[in-house]
């Protein structure tokens, strides 16, 4: 399938572009940064906040995978994060609609729940989280990810032949990033509770995006994906009891299980995370 991957030079996007190419799709990567060394896909350097540039490159696509964004609200003025993410998402979704693409896959985030960048504490209503759990974005980044899902939803309402998947992900990790990002942070209980102790191996993310492009679907499916376990040594029940004691536990959180209900991703995409940090 002729597939656009935005953000294909970034941490997640390069894994997704590689996985789609490996699966036999014709991938055109669009990113403000040059293609990474050894990229197996075609690349165009582009500013996705410019609608003309975006339309010109998306127009022949059968599937559009939108990953490009500023992935956090820190380090830049929040207004820049919000405006960049919203403008890019609007342009890519609009170009997908106008070009007659059949599938949009959107890189959403667990941040739609409010974690980890909330200003006022957010408490889970119930666990494990599924797509019916209330959203509660507070910061500019989380808000942009949630409103991005709503842009995708509006596209589906406009074009009956178009279907979409929004993948809500926790912290993306690889064997190289994990020791740098997570190992020291694990010592800070309050910080890692904000992270929901959750991660997703970039290779498992890549496979989820391939399924989200390929699976026959109708409508717009929003779902959480994550590693099967948490990134912690402590068992999940004990973590939850200490950080979020009021959360209703609707399904057992055995051993080191993730706080995300993966059954929706399993049912819709056949998603089975294979990688765990203990093998890194």
Ligand X SMILES: NC(=O)c1ccc[n+]([C@@H]2O[C@H](COP(=O)([O-])OP(=O)(O)OC[C@H]3O[C@@H](n4cnc5c(N)ncnc54)[C@H](O)[C@@H]3O)[C@@H](O)[C@H]2O)c1
- Which positions touch ligand X (CB under 6 A)? 7, 9-13, 31-33, 46-49, 67-71, 84, 88, 107, 109, 145, 169, 171-172
DSSP string, 103-158: EEEEEEEGGGGTTTT-SS----SEESB-TTSPP---SHHHHHHHHHHHHHHHHHHH
10 vs 124 by CB, closer to ligand X: 10
DSSP assigned state of 12: H
Distance CA 198, CA 189 (A): 13
CB 202, min distance to ligand X, A: 8
CB 19, min distance to ligand X, A: 14
Closest alpha carbon to 7 in 76, 52, 54: 54
49 vs 211 by CB, closer to ligand X: 49
CB 213, min distance to ligand X, A: 16
Rounded to whole angstroms, what are the CA distances from 162 to 100, 154, 218?
8, 11, 8
7 vs 206 by CB, closer to ligand X: 7
Distance CA 21, CA 17 (A): 6
Point out the residue whose Cβ comes nearest to ligand X. Answer: 10
CB 72, min distance to ligand X, A: 8
CB 20, min distance to ligand X, A: 15
Which residue has 């494990």 as its token pair? 128
Under 8 Å CB-to-CB from 30, ≥6 apart: which residues?
A: 4, 5, 6, 7, 8, 43, 44, 46, 48, 54, 57, 58, 68
80 vs 218 by CB, closer to ligand X: 80
CB 168, min distance to ligand X, A: 8
CB 241, min distance to ligand X, A: 26
b/e map 121-150, b = 16+ CB within 10 Å:
ebebbebbbbeebeebbbbbbbbbbbbbbe
89 vs 240 by CB, closer to ligand X: 89
67 vs 113 by CB, closer to ligand X: 67
47 vs 62 by CB, closer to ligand X: 47
């Amino acid at each position: 399938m002729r597939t656009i991957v935005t953000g294909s030079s970034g941490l997640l996007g390069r894994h997704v572009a590689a996985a789609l190419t490996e699966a036999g799709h014709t991938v055109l990567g669009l990113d403000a940064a040059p293609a990474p060394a050894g990229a197996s896909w075609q690349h165009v350097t582009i500013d996705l906040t410019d609608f003309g540039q975006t339309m010109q490159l998306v127009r022949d696509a059968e599937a559009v995978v939108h990953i490009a964004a500023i992935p956090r609200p820190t380090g830049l003025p929040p207004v820049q994060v919000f405006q960049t993410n919203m403008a890019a998402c609007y342009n890519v979704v609009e170009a997908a609609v106008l070009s007659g693409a059949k599938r949009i896959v959107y890189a959403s985030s667990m941040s739609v729940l409010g974690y980890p960048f909330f200003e006022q504490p957010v408490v889970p209503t119930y666990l494990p989280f599924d797509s019916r759990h209330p959203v509660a974005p507070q910061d500019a980044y989380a808000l942009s990810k949630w409103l991005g899902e709503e842009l995708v939803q509006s596209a589906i309402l406009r074009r009956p032949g178009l279907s979409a998947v929004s993948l809500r992900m926790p912290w993306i990790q690889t064997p190289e990033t994990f020791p740098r990002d997570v190992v020291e942070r694990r010592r800070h209980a309050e910080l890692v509770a904000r992270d929901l102790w959750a991660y997703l191996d970039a290779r498992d993310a890549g496979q989820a995006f391939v399924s989200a492009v390929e699976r026959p679907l109708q409508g717009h499916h929003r779902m959480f994906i994550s590693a099967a376990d948490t990134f912690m040594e402590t068992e999940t029940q004990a973590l939850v009891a200490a950080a979020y004691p009021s959360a209703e536990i609707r399904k057992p959180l055995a051993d080191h299980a993730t706080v995300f209900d993966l059954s929706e991703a399993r049912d819709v995409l056949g998603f089975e995370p294979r990688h765990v940090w203990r093998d890194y």
